[in-house]
Amino acid sequence: MQPSPKPFTVTAITRMIKERIEGSFRGVYIEGEISNLTVQSMSGHHYFSLKDAGATIRCTLWKNVAAGLKFAPKDGMKIIAFGDITVWEKGGSYQINCKFLLPMGVGELELAFRQLYEKLSLEGLFDPDRKRGIPQYANMIGVVTSPTGAVIRDIINIARRRNPLVQIVLFPARVQGDGAEESIVSGIQYFNSRDDIDLLIVGRGGGSLEDLWAFNSESVVRAIVASDIPVISAVGHEVDVTLSDYAADHRAPTPSAAAEIAVWSRGEFSRAVRDHIRVQTECLRSQAKRARHRLAMILSRPAWRRPFDFILQHRQTLDAHVRELGHQGHIFVTKNRNRLSVAASSLDALSPLKILSRGYSVALLCPKKTLLKSVKEVYRGATVETIVSDGRFTSVVEAITPESK
Amino acid sequence: MERLEEITHALEGGDLPLEKSIELYTEGLDISKFCDDKLGEAETRVKVITEKQGKLVEEDFEDEEQ
């Protein structure tokens, strides 16, 4: 019988395994599907299994590595893990200590983009009714972009052409790389701290997804959403769409387009003013014409053309009446004059004076001169005045003789 | 511009008394003159924000085109 070799202690054999394995599997890329993902709340470290049809390896992902990921690992996700295989002696297990993770099939940036899009979209940050209108007559425009580069140049050129009255204020920002997010957020917040800015343009020129990445960051999106001043985003070329574009009140495909929208045209404004005056003049002219026409209509009526016509008409009638009246009067007078003559002659015939000339006399009792018609009215010695045709005489009554019947 | 639009609308309505129309029209002409004067001014002003001694200040921006 062979003597058995001296047994290893668990610690010793584990140590040997550890050295063997850790020595051989440094910096390996392993692809698989994430499962049983847990995040330890205290430490923030991630623990999960990477598996495929045949096997499973445990993985560890320290908190700071996880924070550096652009996407969030989830169960079921197919990834490539890069790291060292380590042996956990106490537990008797081995795991991949991940240095970074890459999503499989999809670029990590693209995955990150999708994840962030979903998350923020669910919060309603990209809702169409959140969007405000762009002011029609912005007089001070804040621009957050690189101080070098085509964006600010294009904006200034177009603004200059369209309307020199509009002022531009540039906040020079880093638009890619380290600190870009913070820089852009500062710019947006700075302009919001002023009360004289009407509109913001936030953007940068074209580039790769990586170059544009700051404009996909959560902090920039939230800064745009929080901005009280309306924001036009102008990031990259027409085909590039970033989350900032979704968050902004208006997306411009290029910086020039942004300037065209932002800056009101002096020329168009002048034209509009002139058009208004033209229309107003026309309205007033036609109103005056209508008024003149109405006046003419009124003045053409007979009452106005021959105003004295009315009077003449009536005067004519009056004259006729007067003439008629005169004529009738004449007739009347003539007729009555005749009657008068006739009456006068009859009267004359009956006149007591005529009677006197025929020999009759009138006796009057003096002194009252009362007419005597009867012998009873006199007495002897009474004074009587007698009127004859050519005069009168006074006598005294001597004798009275009543007439016997 | 708003006021000008209001005036145009009122005059187009056509049922204002003539005096009122003339009054509005004159006002329109005044506005138009004011606009012409204002718009005639100016040259584009561009400012840039710079940090000076820890504070953010506005300065004139010099770009190559100027």
Residue-wise pLDDT tens digits, A157-186: 999 889 888 889 999 999 988 899 999 999
Q: What is the pLDDT of residues A38-67, one digit of tens each?
A: 988 888 899 999 999 899 999 999 998 888
Residues 6+ apart with CB under 8 A from A28: A82, A83, A84, A85, A96
Answer yes or no: pTM beyond 0.80: no
Is residue B41 a part of any domain in this protein?
yes
Is there a contact between B18 and A287 if contact means CB atoms under 8 Å apart?
yes
Residue B65 belongs to a domain: no
Contact A280 B8 (CB under 8 A): yes
CATH classification code of A10-105: 2.40.50.140
Say if CB A84 and CB A48 are below 8 A apart.
Answer: no
Range of the domain at B10: 2-60
CB contact under 8 A, B32 and A160: no
Number of domains in chain B: 1
The answer to whether residue A152 neighbours chain B at the CB level (below 8 Å) is yes
Segments making up each domain of chain A, as ranges:
10-105, 115-264, 355-396
Confidence of residue B10 (pLDDT cuts 50, 70, 90): confident
Range A347-354 average pLDDT: 75
What is the spatial distance between Cα A235 and Cα A256, in angstroms, rounded to a whole number?
11
Which residue in B24, B44, B48 is closest to A170 by CB distance? B48
Q: Flag whether B50 is in a domain.
A: yes
> What's the confidence (pLDDT) of residue A273?
87
Q: What is the pLDDT of residue A2?
A: 66
| Mean pLDDT within B19-32 | 86
Per-residue pLDDT tens over the stretch A368-384: 888 888 888 888 888 99
In whole angstroms, what separates CA B20 from the centre of its chain?
Answer: 25
Q: What's the mean pLDDT in A131-138?
A: 90
State the count of interchain CB pairs (< 8 A) between A and B.
100
The pLDDT assigned to A405 comes to: 58
Q: What is the DSSP letter of A96?
A: E
**Position B51 in a domain:** yes
Number of other CB atoms surrounding residue A42 within 10 Å: 5
pLDDT per position as a tens digit, A283-293? 888 888 888 88
Per-residue pLDDT, A388 = 87
Q: Does residue B39 sit at the A interface (CB-CB below 8 Å)? A: yes
| Cis peptide preceding B17, ω within 30 of 0 | no
Which residues does chain A have within 8 Å of residue B65's beta carbon, measured at their own beta carbons? Answer: 153, 156-157
Q: Mean of the per-residue pLDDT values for chain A?
A: 88
Which of A180, A105, A171, A95 minimizes the C-alpha distance to A140? A171
CA of A175: how far to CAs of A187, A200, A204, in Å?
11, 16, 6
Query: Contact B21/A287, CB-based, under 8 Å?
Result: yes
> B32 to chain A, minimum CA–CA distance in Å?
6
Whether A167 contacts chain B with CB within 8 A: yes
On whether any CB of chain A is under 8 Å from the CB of B8, the answer is: yes
Nearest CA in chain B to A265: B39
Q: Which chain B residues have a beta carbon less than 8 Å from that of A157?
A: 65
Q: Which among A298, A304, A263, A295 has a CA at the least distance from the CA of A158? A: A263
Where b means 16+ CB within 10 Å and e means fewer, A6-41 reads eeeeeeeebeeebeeeeeeeeeeebebbbeebeeee
In chain B, the residue whose alpha carbon lies closest to the alpha carbon of A170 is B48
CB contact under 8 A, B4 and A269: no
Residues of A in contact with B35 (CB under 8 A): 269-270, 273
Mean pLDDT, rounded, for A313-340: 84
Q: Which of B49, B57, B58, B64 to mutate to test the interface with A (most CBs of A within 10 A)?
A: B49
**Can you name the residues that pair with A360 across neighbouring β-strands?**
none
- Kindly determine whether residue B22 and residue A284, on different chains, have CB atoms separated by under 8 Å: yes
Among residues A76, A146, A71, the alpha carbon closest in space to that of A115 is found at A71
CA dist A284 and A116 (Å) reads 60
Chain A residue with the nearest C-alpha to that of B21: A284
CA–CA min distance B25, chain A (Å): 7
Measured CA distances, A330 to A317, A326, A337, A338, A343 (Å): 20, 6, 10, 12, 19
- Which tens digits make up the pLDDT trace of B38-60? 777 767 778 888 777 677 777 77
- Sign of the torsion formed by the C-alpha atoms of A21, A24, A27 and A32: negative
The answer to which of A110-124, A210-224, A261-275, A327-341 has the lowest mean pLDDT is A327-341
**pLDDT higher than threshold 80 for residue A354:** no
Tokens coding A43: 């430490």
B55: nearest CA partner in chain A: A190
CB atoms within 10 A of CB B57: 11
Structure tokens at A146: 């690189």
Find out whether A59 and A48 touch, Cβ atoms under 8 Å: yes
Domain presence at residue B66: no
Superfamily of domain A115-264: Succinyl-CoA synthetase domains (3.40.50.261)
